Amino acid sequence: MASAYYEFYRGSSIGMALTDSLDELITSGAITPQLAMKVLQQFDKSLADTMVKQVKTKTTLKGHLHTYRLCDDVWTFIVKNPSFKMESNEIVNAPRIKIIACKNGDAIEAGKK
Amino acid sequence: MSNKIVPGIYRAVIDDVIANIKPEFDEYGVAEDVLAELQHKWENKVIASHVAEFETPAPAQVSQHPPQHHLAYPPHPMHMMQHPHYAANPYALPQPGMSAVKAEPIDNRYMLGMPYALPPLPGPNLNGARPVPPHPGGQTGVISFPRPLQPQPPGARTTYVPPPVSQAQSQPAQQSQPAQRIPQVDGPSESSGDEDDSPPPSQGQAFAPRTSHPSLPQPRASTSTSAPPPHDSEAINSDLDDSDTEGEEEAEEGVAGETDIVFCTYDKVKKLSRPSSPCSSDLQVARVKNKWKCILKDGMIHVNGKDYLFAKCTGEFEW
């Protein structure tokens, strides 16, 4: 179980799909915004837990660091010409990529000690 | 390849959310079919996003279970009843349990609970439901992941985009609307409040007018936005000052946001003894001169229109 749940994963593909769906249901009056928020909170949990439990993939990333910033424990990197090396040696390149990294839950707990 | 695991993970997330949110729907007095509709919409949008190959795993689920029943048992009213049960509560049962659990008593109980939907279903059952895709209701969602693909070509996705922008986000001027996958930067921060706003603020001045544009009271913005006469907004210098930096930020953030992004967490790393490493004692990201190294965890990569997941990612950059 992840010990901290972030909302920023809602910006991912699956998160946006959920947000859009909830918006449609709110618009049609099927659900209330309050219930939609509950769903999103559940999504935060489900996604984080599922990722921790089921995703084991390792990846390496290299590239030119164009921008970096750390604010309120959130790192943001903009990497130019990133090259992801996935497992099975698949390589994915792109012109640039933005990385948003929140502090890991374990790191938060460790910081408190 | 970590793109291959995406459908399974997303499937698990959707099922987990739907299963766990059901009590909330009950509590709010929302009908169960609304939950099914939510699931259906959600799945369709995920599929329509084409971030991974969603067809492959689902047909196995679709085609296997119904035939098994029919091969093992002759058509009998009791078996027809099973399917309404599955169809109405797809999220109530874990996938593996479906083939194993076929206790008739359970189905009887559910039967009593839901007297509807019996007449239309025997047809598809007897025919071995596979070749009959069109199930209009959202209830078949779990089993029929691939089906909506045909009625929802990629172009259809554009119709979904406007609602969230206009509703959840009331800053259309600053938002690059045409991009379908932008939402990363501004979406989460909008809904989540202060905590996740954090990445932008490091360029506080450039972003301040942006985030506060629509509603928040800010002296400068109020003069330009709330005051209708166009003369003021054109004449005021403060806006001009902002627009320079803001434009740069827009270009920088916009391009990155529209295309490729990674959501992840970073892990704690022990303090490095190198003098040039940044200040704090619990470093998560290490730097030596212009060499950066960071350990990222639990990430979702969206790059080149595809999603990839990783549990750990070692990043090495040159600044």
Rg (CA), chain B: 26
Burial classification of residue B179, based on how many CB atoms lie within 10 Å of its CB (0-12 exposed, 13-18 middle, 19 or more buried): middle
Mean residue pLDDT across chain A:
88
Q: In which band, very low, low, confident or very high, does the pLDDT at B34 lie, cut at 50, 70 and 90? A: very high
d(CA B149, CA B155): 12
Residues in chain A closer than 8 A to B8 (CB atoms):
54
Contact in structure between B160 and B26 (CB atoms under 8 Å): no
Neighbours of B172 (CB within 10 A): 12
Structure confidence at residue B97 (pLDDT): 42
Is A108 part of a structural domain of the chain?
no
Identify which of B39, B48, B11 has the alpha carbon closest to the alpha carbon of residue B149. Answer: B48
Look at residue B38 and tell me whether its pLDDT is greater than 90: yes
Residues A38 and A75 in one domain: no
Task: Kindly give, in sequence order, each residue whose CB lies less than 8 Å from that of residue B316, ignoring residues fewer than 6 positions away.
Answer: A60, A61, A62, B291, B292, B293
Put simply, the answer to whether B316 touches A62 (Cβ < 8 Å) is yes
- In this structure, are A69 and A99 located in the same domain? yes
Distance CA(B9)–CA(B11), nearest Å, equals 5
Within this chain, do residues A49 and A21 fall inside the same structural domain, yes or no? Answer: yes
**Residue A27: domain span:** 8-54
3-state secondary structure of B51: coil
Residues A48 and A13 in one domain: yes
Domain shared by A45 and A23, yes or no: yes
Q: Chain A interface, mutation test: which of B1, B2, B16, B253, most A Cβ atoms within 10 Å? A: B2
Is A18 inside any structural domain? Answer: yes
Q: Which residue of B has its CA nearest to A58?
A: B312
Are both A39 and A73 inside the same structural domain? Answer: no
Measured from the Cβ of residue B159, the count of other Cβ atoms closer than 10 Å reads 10
CB pairs under 8 A between A and B: 310
A83 and A49 in a single domain? The answer is: no
- Picking from B307, B290, B310, the residue whose alpha carbon sits closest to that of residue B299 is B310
Convert the pLDDT of each residue in B248-289 to its tens digit: 444 444 444 457 899 988 875 433 334 343 433 344 577 778
Q: Domains of chain B, with CATH numbers?
A: 6-154 (no CATH), 193-258 (no CATH), 261-318 (2.30.18.10)
pLDDT digits (tens, 9 = 90+) for B72-82: 444 444 444 44
In the predicted structure, residue B299 carries a pLDDT above the cut 70: yes
Q: Are residues A45 and A21 in the same domain?
A: yes
Which residue from A16, A56, A82 is facing B183, i.e. has the nearest CB?
A16
Concatenating the DSSP letter of every residue in B62-83 gives HHHHHHHHHHHS---HHHHHHH
Q: What is the DSSP string of A22-65?
A: HHHHHHTTSS-HHHHHHHHHHHHHHHHHHHHHH---EEEEEEEE
Task: Give yes or no for a contact between A12 and B51, defined as CB atoms under 8 angstroms apart.
Answer: no
pTM, 2 dp: 0.54
Specify the number of domains making up chain A.
2
Task: Decide if A66 is inside a domain.
Answer: yes
Of the given ranges (A28-32, B167-171, B285-289), which has the lowest mean pLDDT?
B167-171
